[in-house]
Amino acid sequence: MSTTETAPLLTPNFVDSETIAWEQVGEGVKRKVLSYDKNLMMVRVAFETGGVGALHQHPHIQMSLIESGVFEIEIEGVKNILKAGDVFYVHSNLIHGAVCKEKGVLVDVFNPMREDFV
């Protein structure tokens, strides 16, 4: 393919997010798994104001981008207010959660992939 050609969407290398359905995962919280293999997973999580990602832990390493909105993120008892463009990192097995202060979206990346999400 030349550098001027447009590749078809929905190939292993390109994902059209609009074709992936949202999954309701809690009151005011929904997610869509964008792409993954056994080593890595990317997930978009949309929150309504007041939506809660309850405190939890998992063996996966997680890095999250605040795509939009404002969130109170808690990691191991430490809370911080993050806004669009900010990032947080959660090492394996740390207790963490989120409270949405202003409607927004997180983009989560996990290593390895979250088998419980598929």
**Contact between 34 and 19 (Cβ < 8 Å):** no
Residue-range domain boundaries for the chain: 29-108
Provide the pLDDT for residue 6: 57
Rounded distance, CA 118 to CA 103, Å? 25
pTM (2 d.p.)? 0.88
Which CATH number does the domain 29-108 belong to among 3.30.1330.90, 3.80.10.10, 2.60.120.10, 3.60.20.10?
2.60.120.10
* Average pLDDT, 10 consecutive residues per value, the chain (118 residues): 53 84 96 94 98 97 98 98 98 98 98 94
pLDDT for residue 79 = 98
Q: What is the pLDDT of residue 13?
A: 82
pLDDT score for 1? 45
Structure tokens at 25: 């995962």
Q: Where are the beta strands (DSSP E) in 9-95?
A: 23-26, 29-36, 41-47, 52-56, 61-75, 78-83, 87-90
